[in-house]
Amino acid sequence: MMYVSCCLKMTVAFFTYSVYNKSKYFYNCSVPSQDSRLLNSYKFYKNREKRGRKRVEKRIIQVEEKVPAKLLIPLSIQHMFAMFGASVLVPFMFGINPAIVLLMNGVGTLLFIFITKGKAPAYLGSSFAFLSPGILVMTKFGYQYALGGFVVLGIAGMILALIIGKCGTKWIDIVLPTAAMGPVVALIGLELAGSAASTAGLLDEQIDMRNVIVFLVTLGVAVFGQILFRGFLSVIPILIAIIAGYVAAVLCGILDFTAVKEAAFFALPNFQHPKFNLEAILTIFPALLLVTSEHIGHQIVTSKIVGKDLLKEPGLHRSLFADFFSTTLSACMGSVPTTTYGENIGVMAMTKVYSVQVIGGAAVLSICCSFLGKLAALINTIPGPVIGGISFLLYGMIGTSGLRMLVDNKVDYSKSRNLTLTSVVFIVGLSGIALNLGNVKLTGMVLACVVGMALSLVFYILDKLHLTNDQ
């Protein structure tokens, strides 16, 4: 027993001595132990992580920063392509040459940068908010009278910007709260649903199967591109759908390139002057609050992306004034109204490049493209089924954006006022009823907006008198 005990003691002592000498050896020699290697590996990965973070931080180019020359052009081209789809689609819907739109979008963006002192990165593109009232006016009076409505709205918007600079934005929630604003925005898309099918040729007495094929290809690429495209392609699914539909139209043999061959390589945009009519002005005027709300939303989103409060610096009043000033100038030149562009905000979020220098570069490229006559002629050859396929999705998305406003703002429909506002606005807008005030006819979205504003003001007054039951 003593023998076993002595053996155990000697074994433990020997093991302890060996471990001590081994650790001492590894400590003193140049060959690291396993623990040491693990420690070094951990330090390596931590350092690599830090280096990775540094690389990410270096990728972020802030608003006032300069962009390296080798990156400026490709980044600017990226922004131009992001706005290109809608900036081509909107003038096509109005039946005008897109060259003037590309020119004034670029000029408007440069003016926006100047007025905001280069502190608010935003590209001004064609606004969809004017499609419904603009097409109504154009159908009845002509495009020049729609331009007159755009001019008056732009001037009113600049006055509104000055009022906001003094009073803030809370009064907008009183005049047109979300419960009324949401359905008004939705009506913009819903009113145009029939025109999308008509443009695609799906309502003709004899439907051409070639048109159906082109329509389905365009719509299919647009729909599945929204959920399948990744990276930069996810920013421009509309543009890709237009290209795919155009190729399908070429393969189906429904295009005529005679106008492209005859067009000059360089050409001046087609300028037009506005004409004014009271009915046309009143039809377009309700879009003022829609564009204002859109602008405010875009500035809030951009502020979160760049990490700066753009509503305070350069200030909402300054950016809104620049937006409406661009609209006024565009309308005076014969172009469609402009507004801040959500697609370009998406590009900034993806690339982490917020520099206004890049935005300005995209504006300059847009101006240059406006003088390419063959490009304008090529755009004009886009067939109706392609535009119809895009419009199917686009108008639906506009309608859905109105419903999204209700969801994002968590409108409580257990309150009678919210339920009443939304219900009345939808029914007034979709019922087809019209209000004739002399020579002025209010119908659809316009009438719904007016009714929603009047009802909201009545509810506000009743609240102040403590007569409502859901405060």
pLDDT digits over 198-212, tens only?
Answer: 777 777 778 888 888
pLDDT at position 145 is 93
pLDDT at position 98 is 84
Phi, psi of 204 (to 5 degrees): -70, 155
> What is the CB-side half-sphere exposure of residue 37 using CA atoms within 13 A?
6
The token pair at 98 is 């897109």
> Sorting pLDDT into bands at 50, 70 and 90, what band is 24?
very low
pLDDT at position 300 is 73
One-letter identity of residue 276: F
pLDDT at position 32 is 44
- The whole-angstrom separation of Cα 197 and Cα 61 is 44
In the chain, the percentage of residues whose pLDDT exceeds 90 is: 15
Number of C-beta neighbours around residue 424 at 10 A: 16
Per-residue pLDDT at 87 exceeds 60: yes
pLDDT at position 82 is 66
Query: Integer distance in angstroms from the first to the last C-alpha of the chain?
Result: 92
Picking from 14, 337, 296, the residue whose alpha carbon sits closest to that of residue 176 is 296
Name, in order, each residue with C-beta under 8 angstroms of 375's C-beta and a sequence gap of 6 or more: 99, 369
Please give the biggest Cα pair distance in the chain. 122
Which of 37-51, 164-178, 457-471 has the lowest average pLDDT?
Answer: 37-51
- The whole-angstrom separation of Cα 100 and Cα 97 is 6
Picking from 438, 381, 148, 111, the residue whose alpha carbon sits closest to that of residue 245 is 381
Name, in order, each residue with C-beta under 8 angstroms of 6's C-beta and a sequence gap of 6 or more: none
DSSP 303-350: HHHHTS-TIIIIIHHHHHHHHHHHHHHHHHHTPPPEEE-HHHHHHHHH
Per-residue pLDDT at 8 exceeds 50: no
pLDDT at position 146 is 92
CA pseudo-torsion sign 40, 45, 46, 50:
positive
DSSP 312: I
> Sorting pLDDT into bands at 50, 70 and 90, what band is 16?
very low
Rounded mean pLDDT, 303-321: 84
Average pLDDT over the chain, rounded to an integer: 78
> Sorting pLDDT into bands at 50, 70 and 90, what band is 2?
very low
In the chain, the percentage of residues whose pLDDT exceeds 70 is: 82
> Sorting pLDDT into bands at 50, 70 and 90, what band is 86?
low
Residue spans of alpha helices (H) in 60-202: 69-94, 98-115, 131-140, 143-167, 170-175, 178-191, 193-199
Per-residue pLDDT at 333 exceeds 90: yes
Q: Are 432 and 191 in contact (CB under 8 A)?
A: no
pLDDT at position 403 is 84
Rg of the chain taking only CA atoms, in angstroms: 30
Per-residue pLDDT at 325 exceeds 90: yes
- The whole-angstrom separation of Cα 48 and Cα 372 is 49
pTM for the whole structure:
0.66
Which CA distances in Å does 164 have to 167, 291, 292, 315? 5, 14, 11, 10
pLDDT at position 339 is 84
> Sorting pLDDT into bands at 50, 70 and 90, what band is 74?
confident
pLDDT higher at 169 or 308 = 308
Per-residue pLDDT at 395 exceeds 80: no
Beta bridge partners of 449: none
> Sorting pLDDT into bands at 50, 70 and 90, what band is 365?
confident
The token pair at 171 is 């009064």
Question: Would you list the domain boundaries of the chain?
Answer: 69-463
Which CA distances in Å does 418 have to 205, 262, 425? 43, 57, 11
> Sorting pLDDT into bands at 50, 70 and 90, what band is 43?
very low
The token pair at 110 is 């440069």
Per-residue pLDDT at 70 exceeds 80: no
pLDDT higher at 278 or 438 = 278
